[in-house]
Amino acid sequence: MGKTAATENTVTVPKEEYNFLKELHKTVKRQQFLFRMEEAEKNLKAGKIKTVSIDKFIDGV
């Protein structure tokens, strides 16, 4: 990897490394989302569902 210089609260990262880290972050987020969807599908098939009134759901959000 290239040089990394830290000044105060900022870090300078070469463009190539930055693009790599950015793509890695996107990939990890995508995998987390897919894992959560898979878990939700398993719970739905297993009958592990929770019913809540619309008002309570909106209040919870």
Backbone angles phi, psi at 50, to 5 degrees: -125, 130
Q: What's the rounded mean pLDDT across residues 36-45? A: 93
Phi and psi of 20, rounded to 5°?
-65, -50
Confidence of residue 25 (pLDDT cuts 50, 70, 90): very high
Residue whose token pair is 């939700």: 40
User: How many residues can be counted in the chain?
Assistant: 61
pLDDT: which is higher, 40 or 61:
40
Residue bearing the bigger pLDDT, 30 or 1:
30
Parent domain of 55: 5-60
- Residue 54 pLDDT exceeds 60: yes
The Cα 22–Cα 26 span in angstroms is: 6
Total domains present in the chain: 1
More confident position, 4 or 50: 50
